[in-house]
Every structure is written in structure tokens, then in C-alpha cells.
Structure 1
Amino acid sequence: MTIKSTDSQIDQQIKQFEHHHMQIPWHDIMTSDNYTPAAKSTLVDRSLIVGRIGLMLLSCGTGAWRVRDSMNIAARQLKMTCSAEIGLTSIEYTCMDEHQSYSQSLSLASMGVNTSKLAKLESFMKMFEERGGEMTIGEIHNTLSKIAKTKGYYTPLKVGLAAGLACAAFIFLLGGGPVEMFCCFFGATVGNFVRRKLIDHHITLLACIAVAVIFACVTYFFVLNALEVTWHVGARHEAGYIGAMLFIIPGFPFITSGLDMSKLDMASGLERLTYALMIIIVATMSGWLVAMCLHLHPQNFLPLGLTPMALALLRMAMSFCGVFGFSIMFNSTVRLAALAGCIGAVANTLRLELVDLLQMPGGAAAFLGALTAGLLASVVRHQVGYPRIAITVPSIVIMVPGLYMYRSMYNMGLTSVSVGAFWLVQAALIVIALPLGLTTARILTDPKWRHNG
């Protein structure tokens, strides 16, 4: 029996080391006993706790400032000083006490967003800030392992339906009508379902994006053709196919890149921006190729003929639905998604009404919308206890100009450089304004963020 057990352990270790990014056996590399308080453990063990906390937070999609702040909290509780350089998927850090120092490099296999795990980690950090030094190294690792094993709340089908809801609402906010919304719902549902299944099978990022976009656009095309045959719907509604692929827009890295750069975390900010641009380029190129094959064209939407009051109310409802759907895609609880949806409904409706009623430029309206979302999140987070970023980012993701980005790439692909550049500039102004709005709200409401050092 002993030989079988040993062989089984060896097989598990070999399987673990077969990963391209080797998994870290945190419990196996622990050298301190499980009775000594963590603050009195060896420097290596204390440093590994700091690194693991930072790496887990990074895996949730939060920005470098939050990761570093949590690592600093852990280091102080464990009687050390920590200096860290944080990227998109990697952390290089050094921990020092009065006698020696220890440096380490850690990395993730991939980038993701998980707001529920982030909320659990922030709750853990609040507890750790109070009595982390009194816990043993084993207790800390066991607690972190339980958090790390947190599974997604939603099945691939539910995540697909959430994308369908979000994109259907998104296309209405862009000017689409019931036909476009109906087709977008099915297209985005199928696309995100396929994307989630590919992710579960650990397919590489770019392949997941390209295949998901192709499935979304093709599904939109076939649903629209079915409506043309059965209900004699006009082909003019084909312009809504863009909405079916908007679930792929990387709102989290776009927004956090701006927040990181505002705090001079340039490595993390530029890496996140590059990551987001890579996704945008692959997604829009895939959508453009499908459009060329199926002869789809991104035309202007047909007028809806709604009164200003009806349009404002519908915008508020659709903004809620869009933000709620995106939040579910980020693995938020229903309560957290609903809270983000309420804030997004107010902020995004304000943005759209400023553009329509006051003819305000899109960038300025996006800044005020993001500022409103950040201020509202600062008020409610003290009441509900959720992480600020888990509320603010989903609430303004729906403001990311995915349509403008696609039209820019589409026209560039047709060598209509002037038209493509027009849409690119429009998109860039809004993308820049969104993190600036959140940053301003953070400066006004968070003294810790407001100061350097």
C-alpha cells in the first residue's frame, strides 16, 4: 500500500510539472511548523504568503495598485517591508526584514476576471489586517487554497445567456431595434457559450476569441435569414451583427490599464492596454472576415421613432440589463450584478442624454458618466462591502465604444483610411475618458488613492 501511495504521488507530481506554466505546490514548499505564528516564521515562508496573496488578486483582474496595497498589508502584518513590480500576469517582488531579504518572481498562466473571488480575497485581507500575524503559515495557506478553489457560479449556458442579454441591450443603446436585439441575443449567446467551452478546455486566448466571434456573427446571420423567410423582415437589419460580437470587448483590462497608469504603474498599465488592443484587433478582424464572406455591412440603424421620454426610460432599462449581463459574465453574484446594473443605468443614461440633449462631445459625456458611476460606487460600497472595482468597472463597460472600434477596423480593411481614422479617434477619446472619470472619482473619495507614497 505504501508503494502504491508513493507511485500515485509521483504520478501527480509529474502531471503537475507537465503544465507549460508549472503550478506552485504552496503547501509542499512551506518550511515552518504549523504552530508558530506567521509573524515569527522564516522569511521565505512569510514572503511566499505575500506573493501568493498578490498572485491571487492579480488572477481576478484587479489593477496593480490594489495588488500592491494588499501585498503591503500582508508584509506589515508579517513584520517585513515589500517592494513589488507588477505586470499583467507576473509579479517580481522583494521582502526584507532587519536581517535579510528574499526576492521572488511569480506568474500566471492566463488573464481573467472573477469579481466574486476578488470580493472573498478583500474580505480575507480585512481579516488579515487585524490578526494575520497571529495565524500560522498553514492556516493562511489553507484559507487561500479554499478561496482559490472557488468555482464559477454559472454554467456555460448561463454565461452565454448573460452575454445575449448584455449584447441585446447594448445594440438598443447603439440605436438598434427589436429585430437587431432578437438576433443579437441568439448570436451573442451562442458566441459566448462557445468561448466559455473553449476556455474550459484551456484553448489559447486568440483562438477562443476568433472562434467565438465567428460563431456569434454567423448565428446572427442565420437567425436574421430565418426571420426574413418567416416574417419577411427586411435585410437592412443586418447592420446589427456588430452587436452579437460585443461581448468580447475587454472592458476590464481597458479600464484598469488607465487606472494603473494614473498611479504610475506603467508596466502593468501598458501590458493591460496591449492585451486589450490585441483582443480588439483579433475580434474585429474575425468579424470583418465574416462580414466579407457573408456580405454584411455596418450601416446606420433604422430610426426607432420613440419620444424623448420613452427613449430615456428604455435607455435606463437597457443599461441596467447590459451591465447586469456583463457582471454575470465576470462571475458576480446576482446581488452584486444588480447593484452594478443600477449604477450603470444612472451613469450610462446620463451619458447618452448629455450627447442627445446638449450635443456634448462623446468623450466629455463619457467622462461625466464614468465620474458619476465612480461617485455612486463610493457611496454604496460602504453599505454593501463589495470591492469598488467590482462595482465601477462593470457599470461602465457598456460605455466602451465597441461599435466605433469595429467600424474603424472594417473601414481600414477596405482601405477607407479617412473614415476608419474618424471612427478610431472617436473610440480613442471615449476610451481615454472612461478611466479618467473613474480616477477623478477615486481621487475625490479615497484619501489612500489620492496620495502618493
Structure 2
Amino acid sequence: MIERPEGNGGRPHTDGLPKTQPLRPSQVRQNANAKRMLMRLVQGDSPPTAPMNIVDRLAGSPYANPTIQVAGVDASARKTIDFALHLAEAMFRYGAGALEVETSMIAVTAALGLKNVEVDITNQSVAINYAPKDQTPITLIRVVRSWTNNYAGLAQVHQLVTDIVAGGVGRDEAVRRLNEITRSAKPFPRWMVTVAFGVFAAVFVGVLGGGPGASALAFASNLLISLVARQLGRWRTPDFFVTMSCSFLVTFIALMLRWAGADIAPSIVVAGGILLLLPTGRLVSSVQDAINGFPVTAAGRFLSTLLTFGAIVAGIAVAVVTGTLMGSEVLDVTNTFPPAYPLWGQAILIAVAVAAIGITEQTQMRLLLPTAAVGLVGFFVLWGAGELGLGDRLAPAISAVVIGLLGRVVALKLGAPQLVVAVPAALILLPGLTIFRSMYLLTTEESDILLGAGGMLNATAIVLGVAAGIVLGDNLARPLTKGLSSNERRRVRRR
């Protein structure tokens, strides 16, 4: 028989063991916080294999945190998807980059109440998949087969997306506005675009060091190639041969007038003539797509850009060879030209040139002066970098970063995407003179082939540096433009 201890209710004695005190509530909270902190250090904020929410792609864009129109959404998701595809097609046709198209589609579908949406963009096609739980999924694709210069339309589409994200526009109203944008006429008539093409070439020749005679020749020759390009377009001629014909004409005319005794510098005239033929917007978009994680789209645009450069080089080469066979003298393209105008005069010419580019790109009238101002700032940065001895490669890249940064700030303040302001302002940085000199050495001077090839590599490095600089400036400006989208939303709500 086992005797139980007395006085403790049958429990064993614990004399000699340390007695534990109950934890206070503050200590419990401290322990819980410490455990959470330790788990964050070990595991991170989210599991490493968790899929990324598609709405998170809007972070850093003007459409972050869209207003979900829950009350205004009906059961027809197909109409919303059709609208999103139509929107993406219009943006692609007007020159937008893949990231901007993707964020616009995600923002629109999220704001109009669609969840479980996936967007895929590959070069010329846009696909969207809507797969709600326990329902039949919908997958649609749209192929973009044509492009046009219409920065005004791109700015209007950007404003439409901003209004939708702010919650001030429903789907039916958005469809109506998008149809109006795609059917409306461009802001400038064709004759004004043709004249602006010639004005840009004339004033930029003056910036490069050409006198009034060279500027007049550049103006006349670019009017001619604009008319030729328009006629070839009516005949459905591929863009490669249109660009090749234009670069051939501007080079051949300059060489023949020099052969006839005109006191001009053909290299400057050609440099001013081929700058607008360079696919600046496409190149910037391709670099932006490559950096932002759209390799297929970037590869397609890079190939298109490479073909355009090849067409320009081929046209120059054919013109140089033809001119040589007809008795044109061999040019000394290594000559440098002193400035024909003082710095303030060059600044005025740069502002006029950037405004002329804006007209050729069919930008909005209210964006011409701000774009010219951004281009003027970029010109002074380029001049300052040159005075500091930073070199012909680094100076344009630094100027492009400033243009990209200011372009985003100015464009978002005026309700437009960064591309609309940055691309026209940065066209003055491209090395048209280096391209002509290198091509001339490659086609006429057998002893200087290596020098010509080196010049082409140098020109390519400058062009890529300018494009990457614009993209870098756009990313650097994102912290400065966080409040601009919210300003847009407050303005929409007050309407």
C-alpha cells in the first residue's frame, strides 16, 4: 500500500525546484515580435516560389494602385478583353514600348473589375487570357501589322488609361473615347509635316557647321525625299527600299552639286538629311523592352532597326559609288568644321529642330514647346560634357540620361508618356555625320577600310548609348513622379 504525501493534495513535492513566474502581457508581445522578425530574416516576406501577382507589375508606373470599379462591372468579360486588346493595338501602332502596353492592359482590366488575367506580348502580337475559377477561360490574340507616326494619339491613349484607372470612366465611355482617338485626324496636315522635315534638316546642318547655302540645299533635298517616300508608300514599297532610296537621293544630290562647283560640304548636308531616317523611336523602344524583360519583342525591334540602318548605309554606299563613276571628286571626310553660328544661335536652331521633329512625329501642339525646352537642356548638357572632355561617346549618353529624366517628368505632368517627349528631344544626339564619314571610307578608300569599320562601330556605340541613356533617365525619374499619377486621379474625381 502506497502512502500519499499529506498537505499537497496528492501532488508530488516540488521543494528545491525553481518556481516559474507567469509572463506579463508586454513580455508576450515582445517574444511574438522577436519570433516574427526571426522568421522574416530566415524566410523573407513571401515564399521564394510564390507567383508574382500581375497587378504588382504596375509598381513604378503611372497606373499603380488602380481604382477598382466593382459596382460598374457587368457579367460580360469578353467586351472588356476586346477593349483591352484594341487599346494595346493602338499603342503599339503609335510606337509605345512593350512595358507601357503591358502595364496599360493590366491597369485597365484590373480597374474594370477583371481578375485572373494574364497578358503576353511578343513582338507584333498581344495575347490576353482570362481564366476565372470554375468558368470557361477566354483567350484572345491581336496582331499589329502596321505602324504610323502619331504621338498625339499615343498621348491621348495614355490620358484615357489614366482616367480609367482613376475610376472616372466606365467601359462603355472608354470604348467610345478609344474609337474617337483611332478615327480622329492627326494634328498636322501632310504639307506641314513635309515642310517640317526640310526645316529640321536645314537648321541641323547649321548646327553642324554648314552655312546658309548648305542649309538651303538640305531643305530642298529633304523636301524631295519626303515626296519620294510618300509616293513609294502609295506603291506599297517595303520600308527597306523606301529608306534606301531616300538616303541615296540626299547623298547623290549633295555629291553632284559639289561636283558641279557648289561651295558646300556634302558630308554635313547628308548628315542633316539622314537623321530623320534613323529609327530613333524604335531603337529606344527596343532597348527599353530588352532592359524591362521582353527579349522576344526587343529582338524583333532590334532586327527591324538593324534593317533600317542597313538601308541607310546601302543608300549612301550606292550614291557614293555612282558619284565616283560619274567623275565626282574624292572627298576628304576627315575635315572638321568650325561652328557657323555662336552658341546662342545654335541653341535657337536646336529648339527649332526639336519642334520640327515633333511636327513630323505628329505630337500634340501643347507638347511642342516643352519638348523643345527638354531638347535645349539636353543640348547644353552635351556642350558642357564636351567642354569637360568627356568624349564623343560618353557626352551624348549623359545628355540622353538628362533628356530621359526630364522627358518623364514633363510628359507625365502634361498627361503623356515619356517616349513622346524624350525621343524627339534626343534625335539631335545621333551621329549622322559619323555614319556618313564611315560609310564613305568603306566604299571609296580601300586603304581606310579599318578606319571606316571603326567609325561605324563608334556610331553604333553612340546610338546604343543614347537609347540606353533615355531608358536610364526614365527609371531615375520614377521616384520624382510618384505623385503625378495621384494628381491626375484627384483632377478626375473633381470633374
Match of 1:289 among 312, 318, 339: 318
Match of 1:400 in 2: 430
Following superposition, the deviation at residue 449 of structure 1 comes to 10
Which among 328, 343, 350 is matched to residue 359 of structure 2? 328
* Distance in 1 of aligned mates of 2:278 and 2:332: 17
**In structure 2, distance between residues paired with 1:236 and 1:400:** 19
Alignment counterpart, residue 254 of structure 1, candidates 279, 283, 288: 283
Offset from partner CA, 1:121-151 (integer Å, 9 cap, x none)? 0111122223478433xx4433222111122
What amino acid is aligned across from residue 222 of structure 2 in structure 1? A
Quote the Cα distance in structure 2 between the aligned partners of 1:402 and 1:429.
13
Taking the aligned partners of 1:156 and 1:218, their CA distance within structure 2 comes to: 25
Segments of structure 2 that go 5 or more residues without pairing to the other structure are: 1-70, 483-495
Q: How far off its partner does 1:152 sit?
A: 2.4
1:415-452 C-alpha deviation (Å, 9 max, x unpaired): 543112221221122122223322332222215999xx
Q: Which amino acid aligns with 2:279?
A: P
Between the aligned partners of 2:131 and 2:230, the Cα distance in structure 1 is: 42
Within a 5 Å distance, the mapping from 1:165-244 to structure 2 comes to: 165-199=199-233, 202-220=236-254, 228=261, 233-234=262-263, 236-237=265-266, 240-244=269-273
User: Aligned pair 1:125/2:161, yes or no?
Assistant: yes
Q: Residues 357 and 424 of structure 2 are in contact (CA less than 8 Å); yes or no, is this contact kept in structure 1?
A: yes
2:140 alignment partner in structure 1: 104
What residue number does 1:359 align with? 389
Structure 1 97/404 Cα, relative in aligned 2: closer, same or farther at 3 Å?
farther
- 1:388 positional shift: 1.8
Q: Distance between the aligned counterparts of 1:110 and 1:443, measured in 2? A: 29
Q: Structure 2 CA distance, aligned partners of 1:389 and 1:428?
A: 21
Query: How far apart, in 2, do the equivalents of 1:56 and 1:292 lie?
Result: 42
Q: Secondary structure of the residue that 1:365 maps to in structure 2?
A: helix
Q: Which moved more, 1:333-342 or 1:62-71?
A: 333-342
More displaced, 119-128 or 315-324?
315-324
Provide the C-alpha distance between the structure 2 equivalents of 1:337 and 1:401, rounded to a whole number of angstroms. Answer: 23
**Structure 1 CA distance, aligned partners of 2:296 and 2:351?**
34
Paired residues, number = 404
Write the distance in 2 (CA, Å) between the matches of 1:67 and 1:382: 16
Question: Counterparts in 2 of 1:45-84, with a 5 A limit?
Answer: 45-78=79-112, 79-84=114-119
Q: Give the partner amino acid of 1:274.
A: L
Residue 438 of structure 1 is aligned with which of 443, 452, 470? 470
Query: Normalising by structure 2, what TM-score?
Result: 0.74
* Whole-angstrom distance in 2 between the partners of 1:305 and 1:363: 20
Equivalent residue for 1:319, pick from 343, 350, 364: 350
> Cα–Cα, structure 1 residues 151 and 178, in superposed 2: closer, same or farther, change >3 Å?
same
- 2: CA distance between counterparts of 1:352 and 1:200? 41
Do 1:410 and 1:420's aligned partners in 2 also have CA atoms closer than 8 Å?
yes
Q: Which residue of 1 aligns with 2:171?
A: 135
After TM superposition, the structure 1 = structure 2 runs for residues 336-415 of structure 1, keeping only pairs within 5 Å, are: 336-355=367-386, 357-414=387-444
Q: What is the distance in 2 between the residues matched to 1:375 and 1:181?
A: 32
Give the CA RMSD over aligned residues: 2.9
In structure 2, the CA distance between the partners of 1:46 and 1:173, relative to structure 1 (3 Å rule), is same
Q: Distance in 1 between matches of 2:332 and 2:140?
A: 49
Post-superposition Cα deviations, 1:223-275, rounded to whole Å, max 9, x if no partner, equal 6678x4xxxx4365565234223321111011111111111111222222211
Percent identical among aligned pairs is 18
Higher RCO (CA < 8 A, seq sep 6+):
2
User: Could you say which residue in structure 2 is the equivalent of 1:32?
Assistant: none
After superposition, give the CA deviation of every residue in 1:319-358 in whole Å (9 maximum; x if it has no partner).
2122111111110133312221111112023213422x22
CA distance in 1, matches of 2:168, 2:204: 44
CA distance in 1, matches of 2:456, 2:383: 19
CA distance in 2, matches of 1:38, 1:402: 53
Q: Residues 54-106 of structure 1: CA distance to partner in whole angstroms, max 9, x if unpaired?
A: 11111110111110010001110231343333244322332333334322221
Looking at structure 1, the residues matched to 216 and 344 of structure 2 have their Cα atoms a distance apart, in angstroms, of: 20
Q: CA deviation at 1:108?
A: 1.8
Post-superposition shift, 1:201? 5.5
Aligned-partner Cα distance in 2 for 1:269–1:204 = 21
SS of corresponding position for 1:94 = strand
The alpha-carbon deviation at position 315 of structure 1 amounts to: 2.5
Report if the CA contact (8 A) 1:252-1:397 is conserved: no
How far apart, in 1, do the equivalents of 2:294 and 2:146 lie? 20
* Structure 2 residue 126 is the aligned partner of structure 1 residue 91: yes
Q: Which residue number in structure 2 is paired with residue 276 of structure 1? A: 305
Residues 303/53 of structure 1: CA separation in 2 closer, same or farther (3 Å cut): closer
- Counterpart contact for 1:362–1:426, Cα < 8 Å: no
Q: Residues 75 and 81 of structure 1 are in contact (CA less than 8 Å); yes or no, is this contact kept in structure 2?
A: no
Give yes or no for the alignment of 1:263 onto 2:298. Answer: no
Contact 2:222 2:250 in 1 (8 A): yes
Q: Secondary structure at the match of 2:293?
A: coil
Does 179-188 or 293-302 show the bigger shift? 293-302
User: 1:187 touches 1:218 (CA, 8 Å); kept in 2?
Assistant: no
Structure 1 distance, partners of 2:385, 2:480, is 32
Give 3-state SS (helix, strand or coil) of 1:331's partner: coil
Partner of 2:197: 163
Which of 134, 152, 176 is the matching residue for 1:116?
Answer: 152
Q: Is the aligned partner of 1:428 residue 2:467?
A: no
Give, in angstroms, the shift of residue 394 of structure 1.
Answer: 1.0
- Report the Cα distance in structure 2 between the residues aligned to 1:244 and 1:164, rounded to whole angstroms: 8
Query: Given that residues 81 and 128 in structure 2 are in contact (C-alpha distance below 8 angstroms), is that contact kept between their aligned partners in structure 1?
Result: no
Structure 2 counterpart SS, 1:214 = helix
Q: What SS does the corresponding residue of 2:73 show, helix, strand or coil? A: helix
Larger proportion of helix: 1
Q: Are 1:257 and 1:269, in contact at CA under 8 Å, matched by a contact in 2? A: yes
Q: Which amino acid aligns with 1:181?
A: S
Partner of 1:22: none
**Any idea what the Cα deviations from partners look like across 1:136-193, whole Å, max 9, x if unmatched?**
3xx4433222111122233332212111111223223333332222211111122123
SS at match of 2:282: helix
Looking at structure 1, the residues matched to 78 and 107 of structure 2 have their Cα atoms a distance apart, in angstroms, of 17
Which residue matches 1:34? none
When residues 254 and 129 of structure 1 are mapped into structure 2, their CA distance, relative to the original with a 3 A threshold, is same
Question: What is the identity, as a one-letter code, of the residue corresponding to 1:418?
Answer: L
Which residue identity lines up with residue 48 of structure 1 in the other structure?
A: D
Note the C-alpha offset of 1:286. Answer: 1.2
